[in-house]
Amino acid sequence: MKKTLSIIIVALCLSLFSKAQLCPEISYSIDKFSGDTTKSSLPVDNVSFTYIRASGGKTYRYMYLRTIGYTANVNKTGVIILLKGGKKIEKPNEKVEVDVNKYGDGYVYSALLSLTKEDIELLKDNDMTDYRLFIYDGSIKAPDKIKKIVECVFFL
């Protein structure tokens, strides 16, 4: 039993190490209390992704978006993600948060989206070009990096 557990731990560590080499922009962690595993990306073009596998097997997939706006709007909703080829991911009821920009002018608008498997497939197969949080737009300068991050976070 002890030997089997040791082998499983070594295999898990090797698996995480090899994934870290393929995807250096991704952080991996295992919660020592719950056993939940988390993969998170660094932001690219103000976009980041998180995947959580709870110890019971349930999974959670998130996308975090942020952009700057110069007027204050609170309690607003609506996120649109534009993909190359005219495809879109629309979340009209998604809450858009606002905070004062501590590092410059204006306000920081952000949204944390819960992604469906269909959303993830669209992001994996299509270049992301732009996004809108309520009325504030952000653009993607590195769509290939975003696609690689989606692959690393959700498929490796």
Per residue in 126-147, pLDDT (tens digit) is: 999 999 999 999 999 999 999 9
Per residue in 66-106, pLDDT (tens digit) is: 999 999 999 999 999 999 999 999 999 999 999 999 988 99
Burial of 88 (0-12, 13-18, 19+ CB in 10 A): exposed
Give dist(CA 100, CA 86) in Å, integer.
Answer: 33
CA 117, 138, 149, 23: dihedral to nearest 10 degrees?
Answer: -160
Q: Are strands 37-41 and 88-100 parallel, antiparallel or unpaired?
A: unpaired
Alpha-carbon Rg for the chain in angstroms: 18
